[in-house]
A and B are shown apart, each in its own frame.
Chain A
Amino acid sequence: MEYETVIGLETHCQLKTQSKMFCACANEFGADPNTNVCPVCLGMPGVLPVPNERALQLTALTGYLLNCEVPKFAKFDRKNYFYPDVCKDYQITQFDFPSTTTGHVDFEFEGGIERVRITRAHLEEDVGKNNHFDQHSGVDFNRAGVPLLEIVSEPDIRSADMAYEYLNALKDILIYGGVSDCDMEKGMVRCDVNISVRPKGATELGTKVEIKNMNTFSGVRRAINYEVPRQIETLESGGSLVQETRRWDDDAGITETMRSKEHAHDYRYFPEPDLMPLRPSEEWLAEVRTHIVELPLARKQRFVADYGIPEQDAEVFVGNVLLGDFFEKAVDGSKNAKAVANWVINNLQAQLTETETSVDDLKFGPEAIRELVEIIDGGTISSKGGQEVFSELFKNGGSPRAIVDAKGLTQVSDTGELEKWCQDAIEANPGPADDVRNGKENAINFLKGQVMKASRGKANPQLVGETLAKLLKD
C-alpha cells in the first residue's frame, strides 16, 4: 500500500528584545548561570508580570509577516505543570485567544511554490534550563522569561524535505523582519513535530505522534525520515500506532517513547489573572504595520521579474538586503540590469568582503555603477578599463567619467592609430602572423594581446580584432 505522510510543526522562536517578557532582566545568551535573573523571573513569592511592549509589537509584526490575522482581543493564560525549570510551576502563554491567527507561509520547494498554513503564532515565556551533573542537578534561570513565539502550522507538510524547507523559509522571514535572530546554536529556535501516516487518498488522519527535542532543522529532517518508515512498518506488519509523545535521540538517530496519551499532561489552562487582556488599538497596529518588510520569496520573485536578472543573482540580493537595495538604486534608469548586477555582485560584493566593510561605508553612490556600465556599453572604455575605474571608485570615490578622463582611459577607436599598432604587431611577430594566414585562427589572440599591451589597454578590442584580420588577409 502507498502511504502519505502528514506533518505539522510547532516552532518556538526567541524574540529579539532587549529585556525579558515580564521583567527588566536582559534577554542575553551566554551569561553565567543565574546572573540575568530577578524576583519576577525567578518566580519569587509576591511578584507580578508586566508585559514587554516590544515583544507584543514583534508578535503582531510576525503575524503580519506570516499573513495572519491580528485580532483586536487576545489574552494570556497559565499553563500549569510542575518541572524544575518552570519557576512558577506554570508558564504564561496564550491558549484560546492568541495574538495572531490563520496565516500562511509560501516557499520554494522542488521547483515550485508551496504553501503551509499557519494556525497561530502565540506569545509565551521561555523556561529555564536544567543541567545535570554527576551527583546533582542545577537550573539556570537566565533563559526563564525570555519572550518566545510559538508558531503552529497546519498539517500541510508532506515530507521531511518539505519540513526542512518550510523551517528555513520561516527562519528567513523572522530574520528579515528583525523579529528573531533564529540562532540555532544559541537555542533560539526549537521545534516539535506532529506526524502521522495514512493510506494515500484517505481523508481521515492517522494516529498522531509528537516528536520533541530536535534543536536543528537537519535534526527535524532526520527525525521525520526515521519516524515515517517506523510508522509505516508498524502498520504494514499488522501493528497499530498509539498516540504518544516521542523523544528524538540525535546521537542514536532514533525516536523513542517519552509518554503515552494516558500520561499526557493536563495543563489546566486558565486566564492569567495578573495580566489584563490585550486590546490592540488601530493606531498601535498601524504603527506595527510600518515595520512590515518585503518577504524573501517576494523579493526574489520581484527582482527576477522586474530586472530580468538570473535567480542566483536575485538570491544574492535576498540574502544581502543592503546590497540588494544598493542594486535597486544603481539599476534605476539603466538599460543593462544584468551588467549592473554583475558589477554589484562580482566586484562590489567581493571588495566589501575583502575590506570587511559594508555598503554604508562606500565612498560612491549607486549611480556610479550605472554610469560605469553605461560608459562600458557605450564603448568609451573597455571592460578591462572598467576594472581600473572601479578600483579607483572603490578606493577614492568620484564619478566613473571623471576617473576615465583623469586617467586617460578613453578607448582608442581611431582607425589610423589602430592600424599602426596592428601593423607593428604583425611585423614584430611574423610566426603567429603566418599561423593566422595559414588558417590557425586562434593565433590572432596573441597578436591582439600585443596590440592591447602596446596601447596600454586603450585600444578598442573589437576594432583591434577586425583590423588585424583585415591586415592579415591583405
Chain B
Amino acid sequence: MATGIVAHGAYVPKNRLPLEEVRRFWGGLSTPAIKEKAFPSYDEDPVTMGVEAGRQALERSPFGAEELGAIFFATTSGPYEEKPNVSTIASALTGSSRIRVVEMGGSPRAGLQALLSAWEFSASWSKPAMAIASDAPIAHPASSLEHGLGAGAAAFVIGEGEGATTLEAVESISVETFGERFRRRGQSYLQDLELRQDELTGSVLKAIEGLMEGARISLSQVEALVLPDPDGGTPARIAKALGASPEKLLSLTPRIGDTGAASVPLGLIAALEKLEAGKRILVCSYGAGADATSWIMGEASIVSRQRGRSLEDILERGRIRSYGDYLKLRGFLVQKG
C-alpha cells in the first residue's frame, strides 16, 4: 500500500463579499478577475477554520484522530505569533497529547509545504498524519493588496491506505525576493512594494519544468493543474507560458478570493472532488521560490468526497454581506486601547 491522501476536508466561511462592493466603495478594484471573496466572521480565524476543515477530513478518514502521529499546520495569519496555534487545533481534534505538532508559515507556500511534510512524516514512520492549511491573510482595507484577500481552510489525512492519492514527484525552488508580499514582525497588515518583478511566474515555471523533466511527465499526461492564484488571473498566464490548456486549471480564487496558504491546497481539493482515479494532478505553490508536485488520483479520494458536504455545496452556501458588514466583521472597526 502506498502512502498518500486518504481523506480531505474543506472549510470556507459563510460570509461573502461581492468585489463589486469594493469597487463601489473605493472607486476601483485591483483584482477584477475575482468575483466574490469569503471572509471570516467575528468569531472565526485560521484556528477555527482549520479545526472545522480537520473535522471534516477526520469524519471521512479511515484513521481516527487518536491514530494521528502528527499535525502539520500552515497559516500566515494565525492569532498568535508565538504560542503554537496548531496546539489549539490538536486539542480540538483529538484527546490524545501524544502527537507531534508543527506549524509552518512565512508565505502562501506554507500550505503545500505542510502537505509535503505530512506525507514525508507518514512515509518515514508509517503513521498517519494530518496537514491543515488555513488562512485569512490581511492587509489594510485602503490598500489595493487587500481587495482580493479571502479566507478558507483545507485539511488532508495522509497515511498508508488502499487507493490513496499518491505523491509522484516533487521539485523545489528557492529564490531571494525583495519587496514582494511581506509582513514585518509585529505588523498586522501585508505589504507589497509592487515592483512588478514577477518572481512568481519565473519560479513556478522553473519548478514545473524541473518536475516534468525529472519525472518524465508531459503536459498531455496532466489532467488538472493547480497553480498559485493571488488575483484570479495568474494561473491562466502561467498556463499560456507552459502551453497548457486553460480548461485544466483549478482555482477557487475567483469565487472566494486569495486564501493565502490555503489557496493551493483548496485547489487540490477541487481536483480531488472532480477527477477520476488514475488521473494526474500537478500542484504548484509559490512564496520566494516554488514547490511543484504531481499526484495520482486514487479511489480513496472518491470515497472521501462522497461523505458529507461536498466542496461545491460549501462554496454555494455563502451569505452575501455589505462592505460595511465586511469592515465590521473583519474587525477593522474595533479600536484598541
The reply to whether chain A is a binding partner of chain B is no
A: which residues have CB within 8 A of B? none
